[in-house]
Structure 1
Amino acid sequence: MRRSGNGRSTSAGSRVFLAYAVASLVLVGLLGGLLVQGYREDAARQSEDQGRAQAQIIEEMAVAPALDGADLAAGLTTTQRQRLQEATDLAIFHGSVLSMRLRSFAGQVAFSDDGSTAGGIPVSAAAFRAAAAGRTDVAVVADSRRSSGLVIRVLQPVIVGASGQAVGVLELYLPYDAIAAHLRRQMYVTYWRLGSALAALYLVLALIAWSTSRSLRRYASRQEHEALHDALTGLPNRAAFRSRARDSVTADGPGGAVVLVDLNRFKEVNDTLGHHAGDELLKVVASRLSGAVGGTGTVARLGGDEFGLILPALPRDAVLELLETARGELVRETLLDGVALRIEASFGVALYPEHGTDVEELLQHADAAMYQGKRGTADIVLYDRDQVAHPAHWLMVQTELRHALERDELVLHYQPKVRLADDGISGLEALVRWQHPSRGLLSPAEFLPAAEQSGLIEPLTAWVLRRALDDQAGWTALGQQWPVAVNVSARNLEAPGFPRVVAALVAEHGTPSGRLLLEVTETALAGDAATAADAVVELTALGIGVSVDDFGIGFTSLSQLRSVPVAEVKIDRSFVTDLDTDAPNQAIVRSVIALAHGLGLRVTAEGVETPAVSAWLAEAGCDDAQGYLFARPTAWPHLLDLYLNPRGSGRHARAELDAVPVALPAEPDSLSTGGIR
């Protein structure tokens, strides 16, 4: 592709140079013609001036002195004629004068060198009339005595005496051959010099044209390269990537893959070490990806911390094997500004023609797979239309979700948190659902990612807070003082004034601030740590508790738990499942409980589904538990009815709660997508 572009640039540059050279030659030729014409005209004027000067000398030195007192109309005396003959014989003899006539204003020949009294230029001629009027007329004319050849004809007024009055016209014919030969020699030298100068000028112009066209070719090639390559890494850019992907997809062959690569937590590098370190990191990534792919495909930087790979003519297994190699190269430790870093990235893979034959479609599928990887634990995700949410689908969901907020189609279900010490309910967690008019009751996983990718997460969170506080006022009026927990997003914590918005809603409902708990995922706290910490501090100062949800799967450090005033940690369900038999998870959970209690925090375990796990947690000192063992998420009046009208006690009450009909399958409930890496 690059060679083709250079070929076009070279061809265009050659055409420019050829056009410039031809144009320069034409201009130089025209200039030379004009100069030659000018020199010829100058030579003709020079010969005429020479003839005029010679005629004036003859008239003043030879003719006028011999005509003292003569009247040409009356004719010359013998003495005057003899004087004229003597004065002009020598010039006639030596050939400096070819022919001479002295004529009256009426045209009569008063004297001629050959004695004839006829001939000469007619009186009516403009040249004769000009001479009769006192002006000298000079012209180069054909020699009437020869079939070829030129002579200088001069018509000169004859002035006699001190009066300055003309008495007649002197008609002279002077030789032109010597003058012409001299002019030819002079013109030859002039032509040679002029030709040399014009040739030198043309060579200079040609050199300028060649240099200019070469500079233009280089500039065009550089512009073309810059238009198709990233300035920082030197990799092909988005435009080149799309073009090459289009060529690969449309080419006949066994197929291949389009891959999108997005770095994880790249913003932390920029914020912590500075943008110069971020740029160096991007160069390292570009180098390692290029080294891993080698000559089997194309690596491009699409913008920011996103890269694209085109892997043509590779089967599925070979693509995945190569990407594993690339991932292994990326995670090798890198030293930036004295800080050791490990680069992690999410790979979204779309195969062609299996997942599409259009570049845009493949990019959408690869982007959806990459986003799925950021939400999950796998770094390399192959597109699966049954599991991956399509970005185009998100746009539709976002549009429908806006209408759902306006039409009040959302509902809240609640799941109790149970104190392991006495089986009492310590609070309810609000979990949002969407009662879609055509698709039925939708779980958070089907619309929260789309909300998180747009500005809808903020009005959605506000709706959940308001509705949860409304519901809490309802069960409080019936005598239950249960606190309510609401999940919030990382984008909520980063929004300016979010703590004040929450405080205003609490005040509006007259709810004691201590009965509201906000749950944020551990990864949300790790995203923009400073902003999140400031928000948590402000919320805590207002009396609103903050809980760290999904603890153990993110990147919260011990120093963060020590410095950020959270009230609770919730151990992620991945550590709780089969906890009674899984020794490694038992060690982790015991450590988390001890750590949290050491910092004065409560500990809640999520995903408790068996009595054995519940018993183990109680023995380990865990404070609260949530899970299907106690109750599935449901509308709060159902929970209240079972609580106020129990048909059993202890585990029997839990079984009754578990028997509440719920249409939703088991799935993690969270308003926040802060856990997306």
Structure 2
Amino acid sequence: MTAIAHTAQQRARSALAWLLSGLLLLGGVLLTASADAEAPWSAGGAPPAALLALFTVLYAAAQHYSVDLELRRETHSVTLMQLPLALGLMFLAPGLHLVARLAAPLALALRQRHPPLKALFNLAMGAFEVGAAASAVSLVSAAEPGPALWAALTAGLLVGDLVGTVMLLVVWWLIGMPVTLQSAARALLLVVPVTLLFAALSIVALSAVSADKSTSLVLLVLAGMLSLAYRTHRKVVGQQQATQRLYDFVKDLGPLDLGSPAAGAALERMRVLLHAQRLDLALLHGGGWCHLVAREDHPPRRTQALPPGASVPRAALGGPALGSRHGGDEDTMVTPLLAGSQLAGVLTATGRLGAGRRFDMGDLRLLETVGAELATALDRGRLLTDLERTATTDVLTGLPNLTETTRRLDALLREHGEMVLAAVTVLSFKEVNDTLGRELGDELLLEVARRLRLACPEATVGRVGGARFAVALPASAVGRDADHFGLTLRSQVEGTAQLGAVGTHVRLSVGVVQAPEHGARAGTLLRRAETAMYSARHVGGGPVMWAPAYEVSGSRRLAVVLALREALSWGALAVAYQPKVAATGDRVTGVEALARWTHPALGLVGPAEFVPLAEASGLMGPLTATVLRQSLAACREWQGCSPGVGVSVNVSADTVLDAGFVTEVAGLLAEAGVAAQLLTLELTESVLLQDPHLAAERMSELRSLGLKLAVDDFGTGYSSLTYLRGLPVDEVKIDKGFVDGLATDAGDRAVVRAVVDIAHTLGLRVVAEGTEHEEQLVELRTLGVDEVQGYLHARPMPASEVSSWLREHSAPRVT
């Protein structure tokens, strides 16, 4: 059912309740008008106005003083209306009787500000009671008391109460109050014995008055004494019951959230406990007041947030108070709700139900107690909500955390069966976090999270740890081209980012998996996507699709990482050295340092295996520092026999882009006592691809130390010679793959010739790697290559052999 249809239905039922109440009032008036116009018994010459006033007072007193009847665990309040009703039938004309009967509920409705429908229905019930009883009495001879009169009186009272109760239950149901067949049956079963009891008391009173008018005074005194004794008894019993109800309420009260159905149920239970027509819970929420209201004739409902002070102006300034204390309605009481020493809300009770008395200090103390318990429950609810949010949400980005992301991915798999999942890591995060501070690092992650949500609004996006995110969509939303999904993420997320006053660049590494091809569980898919993501770091960020080969070699990779970390901490990593020789003249121009590692259990682990793992596991920094320290120490040693022969060390792209690397190199040079011009750092082309502007800045800082820079394995990546213009580079090293094909492949010869010509035009030296045969050396000389390196002149050798090799070749000083 739509909201509009539901509202229309509510309006129709409310209109029907008004109609039934009006018909009941009209029926009572017509029945009263059809009865005899004169009173059956004489009142001893008393004027009608005096009798009207007397019975109005009697009705008001009967309405004020109620009798509480306990039925099992429920307590029902019954007014004493039947007594003045029976007496009025005998001593008042029906018209005057109707006026006296309606005056009391009308005055109470005006004083307590009853809702219009409630006021109308109470008047209608009073009119029908008078009309039904007067019509019944008019059917018999009422001049003398006797069985016929008593039977008619009893029947009239019973019909009036039964019809009134049935109509009350119908109106309650129409306006949405909970009415069940069981509760309706209990109410009707209670009406019959209560009405018969009061009918019997009325007959006794009428019999006594008909025999001797003076007994009316005795009856009034007796009734007053019995009423006083009963009220005293009920007060004691009521206090005990209120204490028990308060204990039960507090015992059942758990943590509350204002938006949960439990909050409405708790507020309704509090309203019943306080005997209030309306209970308003106002809480400070988002700079305004958010209200939850429970009313006698409506289910609890939450209203929209109101501006501060909209309906709770005074309670926030003081403690609990009755309405009269701050100039308001007498039948109102308020108490502030505190969170520590701060105002958290206000609880307001309006219109005490029952026999007409107003709220008093006892009610206020109960409200204060209930309010304190409610404030504690709401505070516990907020704490529980925060804990639940923390358990499932990343505090920084507001995205689902690893646990919640895994749960959502499993749900996505159950719903769609097929899914594409991308694991994303922010490559530039470490640099920003280390150089610009944690605050800007957090801002970078927030920016990436925002871009991921914008790139895939329908996707499940979560932060699974550190600078790592997961993005998943049903396969139907991506198509079968999962690689394109990864490329789309990179294209829409990567780019420049302004973090406060600082500009930086977002760089990603993306790994992709597909379900069910790569796994049927979220945990497995996440792990495999991250494995592909780490591999993507070595191919420009990917995306890389996971393959089973990753799983097969996974255990060895883990063993290599653990052993490498241990080898670096104990200095177990070795360095081999391979000389570089001038293409003409065979002069030694330098020595390249090559990391070598032999593990007792793993055997010989080549650089092609452990270097990528060092980059993925964060060990590249310690590895580079170890190789630099050993290489500079070896260079210092061979200066005695070959002064001016420097050393070349390979460094990764992430290492060069690290802002702290320049300072580290300067420190290592000073520690080794080696001149900076003797050190050459060899960079791969990837450093130029990742962030050309930052690379140029870092390379300039390194050159300012006095060392040299070379581009290693040139031609194997996606760069071009145009990258070299304006960069502080001293030499270019041609990859071994082009040298191998010089004798047979005209294409390789053309590439080498082009590299040499353009490099020389830019003032750069050219080194050819992998020179193994004399024919290659001749060809390289012809093409104009400056230096060569390879097995033709020397294989890599340990540091202890370098000095003796250099002595044999009588290396002259290189200027």
Q: Which residue of 2 aligns with 1:205?
A: 294
- Quote the offset at 1:381 in angstroms: 3.4
Matching residue within 646, 649, 654 for 1:486:
649
* Mapped pair 1:541 → 2:541: no
Q: Which residue of 2 aligns with 1:28?
A: none
What amino acid sits opposite 1:205 in the alignment? A
The 3-state SS of whatever aligns with 1:596 is: helix
Q: Which residue of 1 aligns with 2:797?
A: 634
CA distance in 1: counterparts of 2:657 and 2:494, whole angstroms: 30
Write out per-residue CA displacement over residues 623-667 of structure 1, whole angstroms, 9 at most, x where no aligned residue.
223345554433255566667669xxxxxxxxxxxxxxxxxxxxx
Matching residue within 246, 261, 271 for 2:410:
246
What amino acid sits opposite 1:369 in the alignment? A
Conserved? CA contact 2:401–2:464, under 8 Å:
yes
- Quote the offset at 1:469 in angstroms: 2.4
- Quote the offset at 1:596 in angstroms: 2.9
- Quote the offset at 1:545 in angstroms: 1.6
Q: Which residue of 2 aligns with 1:379?
A: 542
Conserved? CA contact 2:422–2:486, under 8 Å:
no
CA distance in 1: counterparts of 2:443 and 2:566, whole angstroms: 44
Conserved? CA contact 1:330–1:343, under 8 Å:
no
Conserved? CA contact 2:427–2:509, under 8 Å:
yes
Matching residue within 303, 323, 334 for 2:482:
323
How many residues align structurally?
472
Write out per-residue CA displacement over residues 544-599 of structure 1, whole angstroms, 9 at most, x where no aligned residue.
22223234456878787444433222234565553566566655544443343233
Matching residue within 532, 541, 556 for 1:369:
532
- Quote the offset at 1:350 in angstroms: 4.6
- Quote the offset at 1:258 in angstroms: 4.7
- Quote the offset at 1:532 in angstroms: 5.0
Q: Which residue of 2 aligns with 1:650?
A: none
CA distance in 1: counterparts of 2:536 and 2:761, whole angstroms: 35
Change beyond 3 A, Cα 1:633–1:385: farther
Q: Which residue of 2 aligns with 1:605?
A: 768
Change beyond 3 A, Cα 1:625–1:178: same
Q: Taking CA–CA contacts closer than 8 Å with sequence separation of 6 or more, which of the two structures ends up with the larger relative contact order?
A: 1
* Mapped pair 1:308 → 2:470: yes
The 3-state SS of whatever aligns with 1:565 is: coil
Q: Which runs of 5+ in 1 are unaligned?
A: 1-31, 47-143, 153-171, 182-197, 292-296, 647-677
Matching residue within 585, 588, 595 for 1:432:
595
Q: Which residue of 2 aligns with 1:670?
A: none
What amino acid sits opposite 2:568 in the alignment? L
- Quote the offset at 1:323 in angstroms: 0.9
Matching residue within 658, 665, 668 for 1:502:
665
Change beyond 3 A, Cα 1:232–1:283: farther
TM-score, normalised by the number of residues in structure 2: 0.45
Matching residue within 518, 523, 526 for 2:681:
518
Conserved? CA contact 1:578–1:613, under 8 Å:
no
Conserved? CA contact 2:445–2:467, under 8 Å:
no
CA distance in 2: counterparts of 1:612 and 1:483, whole angstroms: 27
- Quote the offset at 1:465 in angstroms: 2.0
- Quote the offset at 1:466 in angstroms: 2.3
Q: Which residue of 1 aligns with 2:118?
A: none
- Quote the offset at 1:412 in angstroms: 0.9
CA distance in 2: counterparts of 1:33 and 1:571, whole angstroms: 108
Change beyond 3 A, Cα 1:462–1:279: closer
Q: Which residue of 1 aligns with 2:731?
A: 568
TM-score, normalised by the number of residues in structure 1: 0.52
CA distance in 2: counterparts of 1:501 and 1:344, whole angstroms: 24
CA distance in 2: counterparts of 1:264 and 1:359, whole angstroms: 24
Q: Which residue of 1 aligns with 2:375?
A: none
CA distance in 1: counterparts of 2:485 and 2:555, whole angstroms: 29
CA distance in 1: counterparts of 2:516 and 2:484, whole angstroms: 23
Conserved? CA contact 2:392–2:400, under 8 Å:
yes
Change beyond 3 A, Cα 1:551–1:178: same
Change beyond 3 A, Cα 1:213–1:618: farther
Q: Which residue of 2 aligns with 1:411?
A: 574
The 3-state SS of whatever aligns with 1:566 is: coil
The 3-state SS of whatever aligns with 1:506 is: helix
CA distance in 2: counterparts of 1:508 and 1:328, whole angstroms: 45
Write out per-residue CA displacement over residues 189-244 of structure 1, whole angstroms, 9 at most, x where no aligned residue.
xxxxxxxxx99648962488643399999xx9999999978999999765443113
- Quote the offset at 1:528 in angstroms: 5.9
What amino acid sits opposite 2:608 in the alignment? A
Conserved? CA contact 2:635–2:647, under 8 Å:
yes
Change beyond 3 A, Cα 1:523–1:225: same
Identical aligned residues as a percent: 35
Conserved? CA contact 2:482–2:512, under 8 Å:
no
- Quote the offset at 1:516 in angstroms: 1.8
What amino acid sits opposite 2:302 in the alignment? T
Write out per-residue CA displacement over residues 115-140 of structure 1, whole angstroms, 9 at most, x where no aligned residue.
xxxxxxxxxxxxxxxxxxxxxxxxxx
CA distance in 1: counterparts of 2:491 and 2:661, whole angstroms: 39
Conserved? CA contact 1:430–1:485, under 8 Å:
yes
What amino acid sits opposite 2:482 in the alignment? L
**Which structure is higher in helix share?**
2
Write out per-residue CA displacement over residues 399-434 of structure 1, whole angstroms, 9 at most, x where no aligned residue.
433432343321111223232233443211101112
Conserved? CA contact 1:277–1:336, under 8 Å:
no
From the CA coordinates, give the structure whose radius of gyration is larger: 1
Q: Which residue of 2 aligns with 1:652?
A: none
Q: Which residue of 2 aligns with 1:87?
A: none
- Quote the offset at 1:509 in angstroms: 4.0
CA distance in 2: counterparts of 1:508 and 1:543, whole angstroms: 16
CA distance in 1: counterparts of 2:802 and 2:532, whole angstroms: 39
- Quote the offset at 1:478 in angstroms: 4.1
Conserved? CA contact 1:368–1:389, under 8 Å:
no
Change beyond 3 A, Cα 1:40–1:173: farther
CA distance in 2: counterparts of 1:610 and 1:321, whole angstroms: 49
Change beyond 3 A, Cα 1:386–1:232: same
CA distance in 2: counterparts of 1:268 and 1:277, whole angstroms: 11
Q: Which residue of 2 aligns with 1:445?
A: 608
Write out per-residue CA displacement over residues 370-404 of structure 1, whole angstroms, 9 at most, x where no aligned residue.
22133137934343454579777666545433432
Q: Which moved more, 1:299-308 or 1:563-572?
A: 299-308
Conserved? CA contact 1:431–1:486, under 8 Å:
yes
What amino acid sits opposite 2:681 in the alignment? L
Matching residue within 458, 471, 488 for 2:634:
471
Conserved? CA contact 1:258–1:366, under 8 Å:
yes
Change beyond 3 A, Cα 1:599–1:359: same
Conserved? CA contact 2:650–2:681, under 8 Å:
yes
Conserved? CA contact 2:495–2:507, under 8 Å:
no
The 3-state SS of whatever aligns with 1:205 is: strand
The 3-state SS of whatever aligns with 2:481 is: helix
Q: Which moved more, 1:582-591 or 1:402-411?
A: 582-591
The 3-state SS of whatever aligns with 2:595 is: strand
Please provide the CA RMSD for this pair.
6.0
Change beyond 3 A, Cα 1:306–1:397: same
What amino acid sits opposite 1:440 in the alignment? G
Conserved? CA contact 1:573–1:605, under 8 Å:
yes
* Mapped pair 1:457 → 2:620: yes
- Quote the offset at 1:438 in angstroms: 1.6
Conserved? CA contact 1:331–1:343, under 8 Å:
no
- Quote the offset at 1:610 in angstroms: 5.8
CA distance in 2: counterparts of 1:505 and 1:416, whole angstroms: 22
What amino acid sits opposite 2:589 in the alignment? S
Write out per-residue CA displacement over residues 78-131 of structure 1, whole angstroms, 9 at most, x where no aligned residue.
xxxxxxxxxxxxxxxxxxxxxxxxxxxxxxxxxxxxxxxxxxxxxxxxxxxxxx
